[in-house]
C-alpha cells in the first residue's frame, strides 16, 4: 500500500537561523541584502554572533579597507579571510563558489553595484547547495550577506535591511553606539523599524521598536541617502 508523501519522508527540518541582535535573526542557507550608511557595522554584528571563519569579499579598486582594530570591537579579526576582486562579476563568482562549498558559515560581499535578479538567484541556489553540503558534515548552513550601495534594491534576496547610525546621547553617560535599523522586506515578516543599542565595547546589543518599545515597531525617522559603507 502506498503512503502519503509526507508520511514517507517526514516533515522538513527547521531552517537554521543566525541571530545578530536581540531576537532578530537571519535565515541560513539564504542570501540577504544590507544597505545604508552603517551596512558594514551590521555585517560585523552578524559576524560577532556567528561562529567559525568568515570570508569578506571586496573590490580591489576600493580605497577603504576594513580596520582590524575597529572590527575587534565586534569580533575576532583573526577569523576573517579577505578576498579582493578586480571586477564586479568576480565578486559575485567568488561569493557564489564560497556559498556552494558550504565550508564557510558566513560570506560577506561589499558590492559596488546592486546585482540583478539572475546573479542573486544564482547566489541563492549556491547557498542552498552549500546548506546540503554542510548538512552532510553536520556543519552550519552558509549565510550570505550582500552589502549594496545607496538604497539597495536587489531583487530575489531573502530579506533587505537598511541601517544607519543614530545619536547615542550624552558621552558623559558612556553609552555605546546606537543604530536605526529598518527591515524593508523579508519572506514571512512585515516591514518594521528597530533601534539597536550596544552596551559599550563588546557588549550585548538590545533591540527596541522605533518608538522605544521592545520588539517590532512602526514608524521612526526617515533614513538619509548617505552612501558611505564605513558609517556607524
Checking phi first, is residue 99 left (phi over 0); if not, alpha (psi -120 to 50) or beta? alpha
Q: Which of 170, 195, 169 is nearest to 182 (CA)?
A: 195
Cβ neighbors of 116 (< 8 A, separation 6 or more) are 155
Asked if residue 84 lies in contact with residue 78, where contact means CB atoms within 8 angstroms, the answer is no
CATH fold of 16-160 reads Rossmann fold (3.40.50)
**pLDDT lower than 70: segments of the chain:** 1-14, 168-175, 200-203, 210-232
- Check residue 223 and give its pLDDT: 39
Rounded to an integer, what distance in angstroms lies between the CA atom of residue 146 and that of residue 122?
13
Rounded to an integer, what distance in angstroms lies between the CA atom of residue 205 and that of residue 47?
13
- Check residue 154 and give its pLDDT: 95
- Check residue 38 and give its pLDDT: 96
Asked if residue 107 lies in contact with residue 145, where contact means CB atoms within 8 angstroms, the answer is yes
Query: Domain residue spans in the chain?
Result: 16-160
CA dihedral over 80, 83, 88, 91, signed as positive or negative: negative
Beta strands in the chain (DSSP E): 17-21, 24-27, 31-35, 54-59, 80-85, 106-110, 143-147, 159-166, 178-186, 192-198, 205-209
- Check residue 217 and give its pLDDT: 35
Per-residue pLDDT reduced to its tens digit, 168-185: 665 555 567 899 999 999
- Check residue 201 and give its pLDDT: 63
Q: 93 φ, ψ to 5°?
A: -65, -45
Rounded to an integer, what distance in angstroms lies between the CA atom of residue 198 and that of residue 19?
15
- Check residue 210 and give its pLDDT: 62
Chain centre to alpha carbon of residue 78: 19
Asked if residue 183 lies in contact with residue 189, where contact means CB atoms within 8 angstroms, the answer is yes
**What is the DSSP secondary structure assignment for residue 173, as one 8-state letter?**
G
Number of other residues whose CB lies within 10 A of the CB of residue 163 = 25
- Check residue 67 and give its pLDDT: 84
Amino acid at each position: 500500500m502506498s503512503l502519503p508523501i509526507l508520511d514517507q519522508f517526514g516533515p522538513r527540518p527547521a531552517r537554521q537561523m543566525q541571530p545578530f541582535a536581540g531576537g532578530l535573526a537571519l535565515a541560513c542557507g539564504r542570501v540577504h541584502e544590507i544597505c545604508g550608511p552603517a551596512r558594514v557595522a551590521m555585517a560585523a554584528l552578524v559576524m560577532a554572533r556567528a561562529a567559525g571563519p568568515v570570508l569578506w569579499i571586496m573590490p580591489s579598486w576600493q580605497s577603504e579597507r576594513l580596520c582590524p582594530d575597529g572590527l575587534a570591537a565586534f569580533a575576532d579579526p583573526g577569523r576573517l579571510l579577505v578576498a579582493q576582486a578586480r571586477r564586479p562579476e568576480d565578486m559575485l563568482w567568488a561569493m557564489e563558489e564560497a556559498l556552494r562549498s558550504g565550508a564557510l558559515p558566513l560570506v560577506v560581499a561589499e558590492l559596488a553595484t546592486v546585482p540583478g535578479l539572475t546573479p542573486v538567484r544564482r547566489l541563492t541556489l549556491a547557498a542552498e547547495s552549500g546548506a546540503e553540503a554542510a548538512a552532510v558534515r553536520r556543519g552550519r548552513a552558509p549565510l550570505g550577506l550582500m552589502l549594496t550601495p545607496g538604497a539597495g534594491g536587489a531583487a530575489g534576496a531573502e530579506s533587505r535591511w537598511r541601517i544607519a547610525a543614530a545619536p547615542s546621547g550624552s558621552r558623559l553617560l558612556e553609552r555605546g553606539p546606537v543604530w536605526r535599523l529598518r527591515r524593508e522586506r523579508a519572506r514571512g515578516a512585515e516591514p518594521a523599524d528597530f533601534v539597536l543599542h550596544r552596551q559599550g565595547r563588546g557588549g550585548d546589543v538590545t533591540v527596541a521598536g522605533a518608538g522605544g518599545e521592545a520588539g517590532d515597531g512602526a514608524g521612526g525617522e526617515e533614513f538619509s541617502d548617505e552612501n558611505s559603507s564605513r558609517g556607524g
